[in-house]
Structure formats: structure tokens, C-alpha cells
Amino acid sequence: MKVLRIHGAGDLRVEEEPTPTPGQGEELVRVTAVGLCGSDLHWYAESGIGEAGLTSPLVLGHEAGGVIEEGPRAGQRVAIDPAMSCGRCVHCLAGHQHFCLKLRFAGDGVTDGMLREYVAWESVSLVPVPDTFTESDAAMLEPLGVAIHARRLAEIKPGDSVGVFGCGPIGLFIIQLAHASGAARIVATDLMEHRLDAAREMGATHTHLVAGGEERKALMAATGGRGIDVGFEAAGEDDALDTAIALAYPGSTVVIVGIPSASRTSFNPSPARRKGLTLKLSRRMNRVYPNAIQIVESRLADVRSVVTATYAMAQYDKAFTTAAKRDGLKVVVQPYS
């Protein structure tokens, strides 16, 4: 089978490897769609992310869908949950599998990801999807799940004013979920106009290009001078976090979702302290795939709206270049087509 491995910063290679043999509790899946995430781009540009660095060639990709190839469920189309937890540690037993002490996550560290034609993956992490879903729909359930988890941490209430600072695919999903939750106002920022266009289409009521902090006055005015009840930093940039804090109403919540290129996130503590803000850091997601499927089926979120380019795996160079340039919104690669 064909496999795409990263050997160093900017060094991707398609290689031939044996098709994996499923172990106990696993099934063989033909991988049909993989979304390129911001974290994949960190690995591509920096050969690492945060404190994790490349120690051997790695298969990237964790937003994936496919078809079970053999066994009793052969032919079943599935979303592939990239997180494999042990189910036995203190965090798993408490219902927090995303904090598992032995967590393995596709395309991160030493666990190969989904940019390959076939993968042997644990059955409990292969979630059946409705026949109405496309291959890309199944893959987009992962970033939607990240947005669902962040929205749960924020506890948005009907009538709230919400700020989303960073309008990549996850930020756009957060906007859709905030709109579905009854937010009265949704303000948003980004560095790119086409992403703000998408934000407005998905429910943002006021948008503004990032302008070195100057945009905060206009966005505060858009909330009637009161500020926001909930803020989401979804850009991985300190400036986005500063904007969320600047606009936050006293006693409100700011959820940090973005992953920075550097190993540190910084902000001015004085306004956050004076306002008594609650800062929450969002860690991927927990077991939310069934909920994500219900949300898509109920048309409370449109996963197709973020997919703007699709490439065969042989076009990997163009796919990663397009994603790194932030052209469009979400780039999807088809390992098996």
C-alpha cells in the first residue's frame, strides 16, 4: 500500500509498505478521506508540535473517514476516532478518555496517522456514519468534535454574546454551534477576508480583520459596549487571546482552543485578573462522535461548508502547500481513490 511519511521539516515521501494486519480488537479500514489540520502543518513546517518532536518518520493525519475492508462489518463506512485510550486508568474510568495516561493519538508522537491507503484500527474507535454522509463528511466529524468539546467547556447560553478569534475550520464550527445554541451576537476576527466571509455565512453577526488591536473598539461597539459573555481563542496566537480578554465581560469565560507554534502562550494578566475571568484550555475532545453525527443530521452544523479543496495522495505536495498558505478553508487528501 502507499503511505505518506514525513522525514523532516518539509520532507514528505510516498512510500510502499505492507498492508497492516489487524490485531485483536482491530479492523482493517480503507482510508478514503483525511483532512489536513493545523497541527499537521506544525509537524510539516517544524517537524514537531509543542514539546513533541520527530524521532522517526511519521504518518500524519488524524481527521479521517474510511470503509471497513473485511470481517462482519465489511463495507461499513466509518469515521475514525484518532484517539485510542486504555479504558482502565483513573482518567478513563472517570469518563475523561482524552486525558488517558496511555493515550495513543493518530499522527502524533510515535503513533502513525491516517495518510495511508489502509489502517488497522481498534473497532471501538470506528464509528459508523449514515449513508447520506460523504467521505469528507466523515473526516470532518473530528474537527467538529473539537469544536463541540470547546463549546461544552464554554457553556454558551441563549442570548449570550460570543467572540471567536480565529476563523479556521474549528473556529467556523464554533460559530455554527454558537449560532445553534442561541447566541444573540457572534463577533469574529481573522487575518484573512475570505475566512471572515465564511464566518458571516455561518452565523457571525460582526466580523473584523485583525488590525493590531485596533479592531477591538469596533467589536466592543458591536456588542453594545457590554462585551462578550464567552470568548474562544481559535488562532493559536497571543494576539487572539488578548482580544478575547479585552472584550470579555467581567466574570465571563475564555476558552483557549488554538495551538501556538511556540511552546508558550502569553497574555497580559492584569485585565484578566481585574475582570475575574475564567480561562479554560480545551484538550482535543472526549467521546463526542455520536453527538457530532446527530448535530450534522439535524443540520445544526454544515461540515461540507469548510471543505474547499480535495487532492489525491499523489498530489500531497500541492495539498500541503495549499493548506500551509491558508488558501480556502479545509484541504482534504484522498489516500485511497
Residue 159 and residue 55 share a domain: no
DSSP-assigned states of every residue in 93-109:
HTT-GGG-TT-EETTBT
Residue 153 and residue 270 share a domain: yes
* pLDDT one-digit tens code per residue, 308-317: 999 999 999 9
Report the CATH number at residue 25: 3.90.180.10
Residue 268 and residue 202 share a domain: yes
**Average pLDDT of the chain, as a whole number:** 94
Q: Are 299 and 279 in contact (CB under 8 A)?
A: no
Q: Is 295 within a domain?
A: no
Q: Is 137 within a domain?
A: no
Per-residue pLDDT band for 239 (boundaries 50, 70, 90) equals very high
Residue 42 and residue 165 share a domain: no
Q: Give 14's Cβ-side CA count (13 Å radius).
A: 12
Q: Is the pLDDT of residue 85 over 80?
A: yes
CA distance 16 to 317: 17
Per-residue pLDDT band for 3 (boundaries 50, 70, 90) equals very high
Residue 72 and residue 14 share a domain: yes
Q: Is 290 within a domain?
A: no
Q: Are 163 and 154 in contact (CB under 8 A)?
A: no
Q: Is 291 within a domain?
A: no
Residue 111 and residue 163 share a domain: no
Q: Is 203 within a domain?
A: yes
Question: Helix 316-324 crosses helix 38-46 at what angle (to 10 degrees)?
Answer: 100
As a three-state string, the secondary structure of 40-100 is HHHHHHHCEECCEECCCCEECCCEEEEEECCCCCCCCEEEECCEECCCCCHHHHCCCHHHC
Residue 122 and residue 47 share a domain: yes
Domain count of the fold of the chain: 2
Q: Are 221 and 211 in contact (CB under 8 A)?
A: no
* pLDDT one-digit tens code per residue, 286-311: 889 999 999 999 999 999 999 999 99
Residue 309 and residue 250 share a domain: no
Per-residue pLDDT band for 260 (boundaries 50, 70, 90) equals confident
Amino acid at 263: S
Per-residue pLDDT band for 257 (boundaries 50, 70, 90) equals very high
Q: How many CB atoms lie within 10 A of CB 192?
A: 16
Q: Is 133 within a domain?
A: no
What domain range includes position 210?
145-281
Residue 261 and residue 193 share a domain: yes
Grid cell digits, residue 149: 468539546
Residue 175 and residue 118 share a domain: no
Residue among 180, 69, 168, 196 at smallest CA distance from 121: 69
Residue 181 and residue 55 share a domain: no
CA distance 176 to 272: 27
Name the DSSP letter for residue 137: H
Q: Is 289 within a domain?
A: no
Report the CATH number at residue 187: 3.40.50.720
Q: Is 209 within a domain?
A: yes
CA distance 184 to 68: 43
Q: How many CB atoms lie within 10 A of CB 286?
A: 18
Helix, strand, coil percent content, the chain, rounded in steps of 5:
30, 30, 40
- Predicted local confidence at residue 289, as pLDDT: 95
Residue 108 and residue 26 share a domain: yes
- Predicted local confidence at residue 54, as pLDDT: 86
- Predicted local confidence at residue 47, as pLDDT: 82
